[in-house]
Amino acid sequence: MNAPTTAPFHVAQRDVPQALIQALQQRFGNNCSTALVIREQHGRDESAFTTVPPPAAVVFAEKTQDVADAVALAAQYQVPVIPFGVGSSLEGHLLAVQGGISIDVSRMNRILSINADDLTVTVQPGVTRKQLNEEIKSTGLFFPIDPGADASIGGMSATRASGTNAVRYGTMRENVLALEVVTASGEVIRTGTRAKKSSAGYDLTRLMVGSEGTLGVITEITLKLYPLPEAVSAAICSFPSIEAAVRTTIAIIQMGVPIARVELIDSNTVRMVNAYAKLGLTESPMLLMEFHGSPAGVKEQAETVQDIATEFGGQSFEWATTPEERTRLWTARHNAYFAAIQSKPGCRAISTDTCVPISRLADCLLDSVAEADATGLPYFLVGHVGDGNFHFGYLIDPNNSTEFATAEMLNHQLVARALSLGGTCTGEHGMGLHKMGFLLDEAGAGAVQMMRTIKQALDPHNIMNPGKIFSL
């Protein structure tokens, strides 16, 4: 375990009575573990924060009733519960800052029903996105949301995740149709239906999507699916500068090209990826793009984009039309994080996640690049730029408090800039612990108070993943 980093959040663990642990062990037998190694594994995520003591116990749920019973028992003792999928969250969502128990739903990993004719699927929360796409392959449909990590659908719902395909297909906000949720009292409720749209009462589905486990534990998710596109082509294009790549993206979006993916990778990151994955990509800023549609439609989109890119100095369009070539390309993109981590042994990444209106993307990004360069701190830079969303990953030595402070300063400056441009501090990672400090600046006191009021009404004893999103 690494030495402490300065945590920008409050740790105040509440007591977990032995009687609760005994009750859980009685109810769950071997599916309730208090082994340190298991608890430690459930008390961290992919964030840079590693110093919070782990949960007191881990319950491995195998069905909705397990979750309901675990929450009901925790509620009886007013002990926090933290849902756990695969542990790929990036903002400290899983850390037991107020103690409590972890409910691991990774064994709830069944596809419950595929309704290919309706383009919907209902899954348990522990199903991962790759598993889902593998299991529905024969239907000719796919689930497009791709945050990079092979995250669980439950976790993706809880953080309102998105990723590379969101520019065309939307985020979890747009793609979750209905949920089953265990509430703070251990009751099982359903939100939404399989109908594509509805005006029936409050949108509890959207309230739960992105609530990060603070309002309930998601135990079932109904998702929209899409027909696999008849034709897919992908391309890399190198640019003389980040600005040229970004201006190309802005023009693509403003022209309404229905591009499926348009990802920025800066030259730093290309270098790291080349080293990590033994690739020979040109080490300049690049856009990775993907086009979905009919053969003619894809060709048309690609031509339009090539014209725009050329205007901004884009060079060496490289096309990847076979599935293997495309996989190689997207693997390179998805490995950016690990490639970066490996480029500085022992480091951890402090991730940023700002998202701004597309017209402000160049301003926001270029000023932040200049700021980061001025500090000398190594970083990677990737972005779902078609949505105005990008990530710096500042690579810090977790034992070096100066580097930590520099990274935090850069993140603060970046967020302040994004907010001043009409953007958000987090496009897709969620607030967790790390972004909590920004919510008041972004949403304003009135909106945060409304969120708190809802939280207090639905979870009066503050047991659902407490200490996340906002302080209570």
Q: Which position has the token pair 């969101």?
A: 166
Judged by CB under 8 A, the stretch of 233-241, 295-303, 318-326, 335-343 that binds its own copies is 295-303
Provide φ and ψ at 345, rounded to 5°: -50, 135
Give the residue, chosen from 13, 115, 375, 471, that forms a contact with its own copies under the rule CB under 8 A: 115
Binding mask 118-157 for its own copies (x = CB under 8 A): xxx-------------------------------------
Residue 420 found at the interface with its own copies (CB under 8 A): no
Q: Which two tokens stand for residue 231?
A: 């034709």
Task: Give the up-direction half-sphere exposure of residue 207: CA atoms within 13 A in the CB hemisphere.
Answer: 19
Give the residue, chosen from 135, 283, 318, 442, that forms a contact with its own copies under the rule CB under 8 A: 442
Give the residue, chosen from 97, 166, 308, 382, that forms a contact with its own copies under the rule CB under 8 A: 166
Residue 4 found at the interface with its own copies (CB under 8 A): no
Judged by CB under 8 A, the stretch of 27-35, 128-136, 288-296, 334-342 that binds its own copies is 288-296
Residue 202 found at the interface with its own copies (CB under 8 A): yes
Residue 173 found at the interface with its own copies (CB under 8 A): yes
- C-beta of 85: minimal distance to its own copies in Å? 16
Cβ-contact 86, 102 below 8 angstroms: no
Q: Looking only at residues 343 through 372 of this chain, which bind its own copies when binding is defined by CB under 8 A?
A: 353, 355-360
Nearer to its own copies, 63 or 360 (CB): 360
Residue 11 found at the interface with its own copies (CB under 8 A): no
Give the residue, chosen from 29, 201, 345, 376, that forms a contact with its own copies under the rule CB under 8 A: 201
Q: Looking only at residues 57 through 76 of this chain, which bind its own copies when binding is defined by CB under 8 A?
A: none
Length of the chain measured in residues: 472
- Positive or negative: CA dihedral 351, 130, 37, 100: positive
The CA radius of gyration of the chain, in Å to the nearest whole number, is 22
Cβ-contact 26, 73 below 8 angstroms: no
Q: Residues near 412 by Cβ (< 8 Å), separated by ≥ 6?
A: none
- Residue 451's nearest CA partner among 209, 160, 215 is 215
- C-beta of 292: minimal distance to its own copies in Å? 10
Across the chain, which distance is largest between two alpha carbons, in Å? 69
Cβ-contact 422, 357 below 8 angstroms: yes
Helix and strand element counts for the chain (H, E): 16, 18
Nearer to its own copies, 30 or 199 (CB): 199
Give the residue, chosen from 35, 296, 405, 472, that forms a contact with its own copies under the rule CB under 8 A: 296
- C-beta of 236: minimal distance to its own copies in Å? 24
d(CA 212, CA 215): 8
Give helix 361-375 / helix 401-420 axis angle, nearest 10°.
Answer: 160
Residue 388 found at the interface with its own copies (CB under 8 A): yes
Residue 94 found at the interface with its own copies (CB under 8 A): no
Judged by CB under 8 A, the stretch of 199-207, 313-321, 329-337, 372-380 that binds its own copies is 199-207
Residue 425 found at the interface with its own copies (CB under 8 A): yes
Give the type of residue at 166. A
